[in-house]
Amino acid sequence: MQLVNNKSIVSSKDLDFIALSFARMRSQGRYLCPDAITGNMDEGCKTWFLKHYATCYELLQEKATAM
């Protein structure tokens, strides 16, 4: 995984947790600005994160409608 900022390296496991957390907040009706979340990410990391975030959100929506 690429650098998110100059001070630390973030693994895909960390980003997975963050993507799921933000997707869960969005599914609860909280507005989240994707640009604010991914502002310090390089393009590869940003692309991966946004795709994973969208997938998590879709899965949560499907789970909510199935209940």
Structure confidence by residue, pLDDT tens digits, 25-48? 999 999 888 889 899 888 988 999
**Predicted pLDDT of residue 20:** 94
Q: Say what the pTM is.
A: 0.76
State the CB neighbour count (10 A cutoff) for residue 52.
17
Domain holding 57, by residue range, is 3-66
Residue pair 58/24 in contact (Cβ under 8 Å)? The answer is: no
Angle between helices 43-66 and 12-27 (to 10 degrees): 40
What is the rounded average pLDDT for all residues in the chain? 84
What is the tally of structural domains in the chain?
A: 1
